[in-house]
Structure 1
Amino acid sequence: MFPEQMYTIIPGALDEATCDRLINSFGDELDDGGLVQGQSASHIRRSKITWFNESQEPVVTRCITDMVAEANRNVFDFSLSEFAEDAQIACYSGDQRGHYDWHSDVGASDIARRRKLTLVIQLSEPDQYEGGLLQLNPGGHIIDAPMERGTAILFPSFVLHRVAPTTAGLRYSLTQWVHGTPFR
């Protein structure tokens, strides 16, 4: 795969009202997201996170399902089978220099080994925070994800990516992983 095939961008994946509703509905439920493999690791990740499932947000879940199906059909052609994890909402605060250092979303646990695609949707307006860029590093080519509210980016879960330090304001995002048989 060439770097330009390592991601796809979907402008307007969620409308402003939906972005507002997600932030307002789940913003009070955010807990420390600084754990990495069960260990406190604020030098690697500093954020607040919460989760939601299909029963809590059926319209958003249907939208995500349709986006993933089309992107996979047109760009990736991976063997996908399910959403084995709930969607995550994250908040990166400038007061805390919120960040998530370079990592991939494929891990050692059974569920993380089966992650094939990562979907991230920008929930905040770009003028609500400074820094906090989502950056991908497919094959040594750093790509800044779009900051426009409601825009989605999908990429293979094995691609290195990070959220650069947030220096002011609050950056909210939604992340959903799509699963299948592990890559071989």
Structure 2
Amino acid sequence: MFTLHSIPNAFTNGECEVILKALFDAPTDEARLIGQKRDYSHRNSELVWIDEVAGMEWVMERLIDLVRQANKDRFGFDLREFSESPQVAIYKASVGGHFSWHSDIGSSPTAARRKLTLVLQLSDPETYEGGNLEIMPGTKILTAERAQGCVSIFPSFTLHQVTAVTSGTRYSMTVWAHGPPFQ
């Protein structure tokens, strides 16, 4: 069965802080900071796409290497590309930041080809409460590691959620590996 694969210390705490600082320093028109204006009962977060933030090329290179190795070791999916920019999600307790149960495979042509989801924990877990990434690969719910710099990888068809942040702000980065649609 395909489940959650964790890579502790995939990024150092210092590297996570560099990423966060670059996001804070980037002008919003460059980083496309977007507050989600849809159904807040399903998702309440802000998003920043890192391909538009200067100096973040090294992050994508590292993410590609991590996905490539995890796929080789654990999943064996037919992966061909990364068709979407990595996105940083910002979940603020002040607005009830969360993302209800969902899968990452959707009806758009790009989302239909998502095979693996990678989530990088950018926040120090001491800076927020709640905000757990939970994955449901079957009947059991797994909670992803909260350590700063830890990467969690799972099949994009797997149900998952980010529970409500009750104090502070949680920052995480997500990227998807793509291939032919699952048959």
TM class by shorter-chain length? over 0.9
What are the equivalent positions in structure 2 for 1:4-153 lying under 5 Å apart? 5-27=2-24, 29=28, 30-34=33-37, 40-53=38-51, 56-153=55-152
Q: Deviations over 1:12-61 (max 9, x none)?
A: 11111221121121136432135xxxxx1111000011101297422111
Which is further off, 23-32 or 45-54? 23-32
Percent sequence identity is 41
Unaligned runs of 5+ in 2: none
Question: Is 1:170 the counterpart of 2:169 in the alignment?
Answer: yes
Q: TM-score, normalised by structure 2?
A: 0.92
Residue-by-residue CA offset, 1:89-141 (whole Å, 9 max, x unaligned): 01100111100000000000000000000000100011100000000011121
Q: Say how many residue pairs are matched.
A: 176
Measure the CA separation in 2 of the matches of 1:168 and 1:183. 38
State the alpha-carbon separation in 1 of the partners of residues 94 and 139 from structure 2.
30
**Matches of 2:23 and 2:17 in 1, distance apart?**
10
Q: What letter corresponds to residue 52 of structure 1 in structure 2?
A: I
Q: Which moved more, 1:168-177 or 1:52-61?
A: 52-61
- Aligned-pair RMSD on alpha carbons? 1.4
After TM superposition, which residue ranges in structure 1, 4 or more long, deviate above 6 angstroms?
none
